[in-house]
């Protein structure tokens, strides 16, 4: 596996984890915010977690869109790769 | 190339998603959360850099074109200097190798070592600049992309290195080809260059290497084996006289140390006497004609005897020229006359050369006095030194008698010698410590100190540009909470 594949697979996993964490944060945030604890600071933490989760999801969506767009544009304007070399007049013998 | 672009892009994307991941973490930890906007910002910055990389290349080339910066000019400039220095160092080192046989001007021997090492360091400095230029010329885009890849690594691990590399590549691509202009602007190195070329009298050095040197002494004698005083022996190769040595009053010449010597290879030799060029035996000599005899003279160890076949010596600068028709049977020098008995095969003319002290009063041939004395004055090295008497003689045994009285005139002549090694090293003898150090100092300044200064300037600019590219703090909004 070369470096680029490694980085790309890492990126895919991180994206999945990020989406999962968004849902988790959303849940945890709301859970803390809606918990019957009469402590304002605790409820505040819950709200912040929910806010960050939303900001994260926003950047996630934006990023995915933009990167997809970039990939699409570059792959569509990139020159097609040259055809593989063909060997002319080569005789092969069976082993 | 594509690999690096793709890698840089993938790393940027990874950085971005790591940033987003940190955003979405349900952990209320400010120290960690602070990384989220930083990483997002970094990823966007590196992507901008990546997508503008062809703009950067074109801009750098455009700016280089504006300043007339050309890699070829720089590389030719460096190569010319390196080749000059290397020929000089070869010349100096070959002279040092010859030093065991030849005594060089002391100034050269004492300075040869420091000169060689100085030249070596100058060449080293030029080679380093040359390498740098070649690397930059060849790998400009690759280095730029490598810088962008390093810049894109998450968590700013190699961000400063990446921005430094990008700035270095841009600045040096524009600035380094302008090095010759900078040096010419500060101190024109043309004078140093011409002085340096004078320093190496290369053609003469080649001759010494090709012809070799032998330190010899020898005797020049006439057909009877009598030494010829004050004769001039000339060594000639390819029509060029390389050495000329005069004999002393005993007919001995010394081509010894330190600055004389003779060529080792096959050399044509002639003997010049009172303006006459005389036949010698052997007429060509090389190494094998010498005999090893180190006890004859202090400064030379090879001996050679050279016979001049067509004269009979009478006195200093006085002799009879013989040819195939004339055979000298007896020759007596008395107090007031010279008695010559010759055998002549035909009616011919006997040439008797007498130096200016001999004032000939009468000439008799077979006891008959000649009515008129025909003679010619012989000038040698711009001094009247002798007179040639032309005496007509009949066939058969002839008795010639020349009566004279001695005049007390000084026999002054300044025979001009040509010293073989001195002639070859003449270019070096004019050298003095101050002239050598002057030249070396100039080139050291022009080719080492000024380029170093220039490289430091470029590095400093690169550093500042690197700060511009990678040194800014992210300004994405994040609330300071918790």
Q: What is the dihedral of CA B245, B246, B249, B254, to 10 degrees?
A: -10
Domain membership flag for residue A24: yes
As a whole number, mean pLDDT of residues B363-372 equals 84
pLDDT digits (tens, 9 = 90+) for B95-106: 666 655 455 556
**Burial label, B453 (beta-carbon count in 10 A; 0-12, 13-18, 19+):** middle
CB count in 10 Å sphere of residue B63: 14
Residue A16: closest CA among chain B residues belongs to which residue?
B21
Spatial distance between the Cα atoms of B166 and B172, rounded to a whole number of angstroms? 10
As a whole number, mean pLDDT of residues B326-333 equals 85
Least confident of A42-51, B342-351, B448-457: B342-351
**8 Å CB contact between A61 and A88:** no
What's the confidence (pLDDT) of residue B203?
A: 44
What's the confidence (pLDDT) of residue B368?
A: 85
**8 Å CB contact between B389 and B403:** no
Q: Which of B246, B235, B220, B230 is nearest to B305 (CA)?
A: B220
Please indicate if any CB of chain A lies within 8 Å of the CB of B90: no
pLDDT band at B482 (very low <50, low <70, confident <90, very high): very low
Residues of B in contact with A53 (CB under 8 A): 23-24, 26
Least confident of B76-85, B162-171, B316-325, B425-434: B425-434
Spatial distance between the Cα atoms of B87 and B22, rounded to a whole number of angstroms? 65
pLDDT digits (tens, 9 = 90+) for B20-66: 999 999 888 888 888 899 999 999 999 999 999 889 999 988 988 88
Q: Over B391-418, what HEC string results?
A: EEECCEEEEEEEEEEECCCCCCCCCCCE
Mean pLDDT, rounded, of chain B: 84
Per cent of chain B over pLDDT 90 is 26
Domain membership flag for residue A6: no
Domain membership flag for residue A85: no
Place of tokens 């934006």: A62
pLDDT digits (tens, 9 = 90+) for B203-243: 455 566 678 888 889 999 988 888 999 899 999 988 888 88
State whether B14 and A4 contact (CB < 8 Å): no
Q: Which of B281, B269, B284, B274 is nearest to B310 (CA)?
A: B281
Residues 7-66 of chain B whose Cβ lies under 8 A from any Cβ of chain A: 7, 9-11, 13-14, 16-21, 23-26, 28, 33, 36, 40
Residues of B in contact with A25 (CB under 8 A): 24-26
Q: Which of A59, A60, A29, A31 is nearest to A46 (CA)?
A: A29
Candidates A18, A24, A49; nearest CB to B17: A18
What's the confidence (pLDDT) of residue B474?
A: 47
Beta carbons within 8 Å of B131's beta carbon, 6+ residues apart: none
Residues of B in contact with A56 (CB under 8 A): 20-21, 23-24, 36
The angle subtended at Cα B371 by Cα B369 and Cα B374, nearest 5°, is 110
What's the confidence (pLDDT) of residue B360?
A: 86
SS3 B174: helix
The alpha-carbon gap from A37 to the nearest alpha carbon of chain B, in Å, equals: 18
Q: Which residue has the higher pLDDT, B272 or B109?
A: B272
Domain membership flag for residue A56: yes
- Best residue in B17, B22, B34, B44 for a mutation probing chain A (most A CBs within 10 Å): B17
What's the confidence (pLDDT) of residue B208?
A: 66
Per the structure, the complete domain to which residue A47 belongs is given by 15-68
Q: What is the pTM of this model?
A: 0.61
pLDDT digits (tens, 9 = 90+) for B405-449: 888 888 788 888 888 877 776 655 556 667 777 788 888 888 899
Which helix (H) or strand (E) segment holds residue B117: the answer is helix B106-152
Spatial distance between the Cα atoms of B375 and B356, rounded to a whole number of angstroms? 12
How many domains is chain A built from?
Answer: 1
Please indicate if any CB of chain B lies within 8 Å of the CB of A65: no
Does the pLDDT at position B350 exceed 90? no
State whether B13 and A67 contact (CB < 8 Å): yes
- Best residue in B3, B10, B26, B40 for a mutation probing chain A (most A CBs within 10 Å): B26
Q: Which residue has the higher pLDDT, A81 or B270?
A: B270
As a whole number, mean pLDDT of residues B453-463 equals 94
Residue A25: closest CA among chain B residues belongs to which residue?
B26
- Best residue in A1, A4, A8, A29 for a mutation probing chain B (most B CBs within 10 Å): A4
Residues of A in contact with B16 (CB under 8 A): 59, 63, 67
What's the confidence (pLDDT) of residue B31?
A: 84
* C-alpha neighbours within 13 Å on the C-beta side of residue B52: 11
* DSSP code for B449: I
Beta carbons within 8 Å of B26's beta carbon, 6+ residues apart: A21, A24, A25, A28, A29, A49, A53
State whether B17 and A11 contact (CB < 8 Å): yes
User: Across the A/B interface, how many CB contacts are shorter than 8 Å?
Assistant: 75
Tokens of B190: 């043309």
Domain membership flag for residue A34: yes
Residue B149: closest CA among chain A residues belongs to which residue?
A4
Domain membership flag for residue A50: yes
**Positions in chain A short of pLDDT 50:** none
pLDDT band at B357 (very low <50, low <70, confident <90, very high): confident
* DSSP code for B46: H
Domain membership flag for residue A41: yes
Per cent of chain B over pLDDT 70 is 89
Does the pLDDT at position B355 exceed 60? yes
What's the confidence (pLDDT) of residue A26?
A: 94
Residues of B in contact with A18 (CB under 8 A): 17, 20-21, 24
Spatial distance between the Cα atoms of B425 and B416, rounded to a whole number of angstroms? 18
Spatial distance between the Cα atoms of B345 and B322, rounded to a whole number of angstroms? 12
Q: Which domains does chain B have, with CATH numbers?
A: 211-304+414-425 (2.60.40.1120), 318-406 (2.60.40.1730)
Please indicate if any CB of chain B lies within 8 Å of the CB of A29: yes
The alpha-carbon gap from B129 to the nearest alpha carbon of chain A, in Å, equals: 34
Domain membership flag for residue A88: no
Beta carbons within 8 Å of B90's beta carbon, 6+ residues apart: none
State whether A49 and B26 contact (CB < 8 Å): yes
Of these ranges, B37-41, B191-195, B328-332, the one predicted with the greatest mean pLDDT is B37-41
Q: Which of B260, B261, B251, B216 is nearest to B231 (CA)?
A: B251
């Amino acid at each position: 596996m070369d470096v680029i594949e490694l980085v790309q697979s890492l990126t895919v996993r991180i994206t999945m984890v990020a989406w999962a964490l968004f849902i988790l944060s959303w849940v945890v945030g709301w859970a803390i915010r809606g918990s019957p604890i009469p402590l304002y600071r605790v409820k505040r933490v819950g709200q912040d977690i929910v806010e960050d989760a939303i900001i994260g999801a926003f950047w996630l969506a934006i990023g995915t869109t933009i990167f997809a767009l970039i990939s699409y544009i570059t792959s569509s304007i990139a020159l097609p790769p040259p055809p593989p070399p063909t060997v002319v007049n080569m005789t092969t013998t069976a082993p | 190339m594509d690999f690096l672009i793709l890698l840089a892009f993938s790393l940027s994307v990874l950085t971005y998603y790591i940033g987003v991941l940190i955003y979405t973490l349900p952990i209320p930890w400010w120290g960690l959360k602070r990384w989220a906007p930083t990483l997002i910002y970094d990823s966007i910055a590196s992507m901008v850099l990546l997508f503008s990389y062809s703009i950067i290349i074109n801009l750098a080339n455009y700016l280089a074109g504006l300043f007339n910066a050309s890699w070829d000019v720089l590389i030719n400039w460096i190569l010319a200097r390196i080749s000059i220095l290397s020929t000089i160092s070869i010349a100096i080192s070959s002279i040092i190798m010859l030093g065991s046989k030849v005594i060089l001007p002391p100034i050269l021997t004492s300075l040869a070592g420091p000169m060689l090492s100085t030249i070596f360091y100058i060449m080293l400095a030029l080679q380093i600049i040359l390498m740098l230029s070649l690397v930059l010329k060849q790998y400009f885009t690759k280095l730029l992309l490598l810088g962008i890849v390093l810049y894109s690594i998450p968590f700013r691990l190699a961000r400063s290195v990446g921005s430094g590399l990008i700035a270095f590549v841009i600045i040096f691509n524009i600035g380094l080809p302008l090095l010759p202009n900078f040096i010419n602007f500060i101190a024109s190195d043309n004078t140093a260059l011409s002085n340096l070329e004078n320093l190496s009298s290369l053609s003469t050095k080649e001759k010494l290497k090709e012809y070799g040197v032998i330190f010899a002494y020898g005797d020049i004698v006439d057909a009877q084996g009598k030494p010829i005083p004050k004769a001039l022996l000339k060594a000639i190769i390819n029509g060029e006289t390389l050495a000329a040595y005069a004999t002393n009053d005993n007919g001995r010449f010394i081509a010894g140390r330190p600055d004389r010597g003779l060529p080792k290879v096959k050399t044509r030799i002639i003997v010049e006497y009172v303006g006459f060029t005389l036949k010698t035996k052997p007429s060509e000599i090389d190494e094998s004609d010498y005999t090893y005899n180190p006890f004859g003279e202090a400064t030379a160890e090879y001996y050679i005897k050279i016979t001049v076949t067509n004269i009979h010596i009478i006195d200093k600068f006085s002799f009879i020229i013989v040819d195939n028709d004339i055979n000298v049977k007896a020759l007596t020098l008395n107090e007031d006359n010279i008695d010559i008995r010759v055998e002549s095969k035909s009616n011919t003319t006997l040439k008797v050369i007498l130096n200016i002290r001999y004032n000939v009063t009468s000439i008799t041939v077979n006891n008959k006095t000649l009515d008129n004395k025909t003679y010619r004055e012989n000038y040698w090295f711009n001094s009247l030194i002798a007179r040639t008497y032309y005496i007509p003689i009949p066939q058969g045994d002839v008795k010639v008698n020349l009566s004279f009285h001695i005049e007390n005139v000084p026999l002054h002549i300044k025979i001009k010698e040509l010293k073989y090694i001195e002639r070859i090293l003449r270019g070096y003898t004019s050298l003095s410590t101050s002239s050598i150090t002057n030249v070396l100092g100039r080139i050291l300044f022009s080719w080492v100190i000024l380029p170093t200064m220039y490289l430091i300037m470029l590095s400093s600019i690169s550093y500042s540009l690197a700060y511009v590219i990678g040194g800014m703090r992210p300004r994405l909004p994040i609330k300071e909470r918790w």
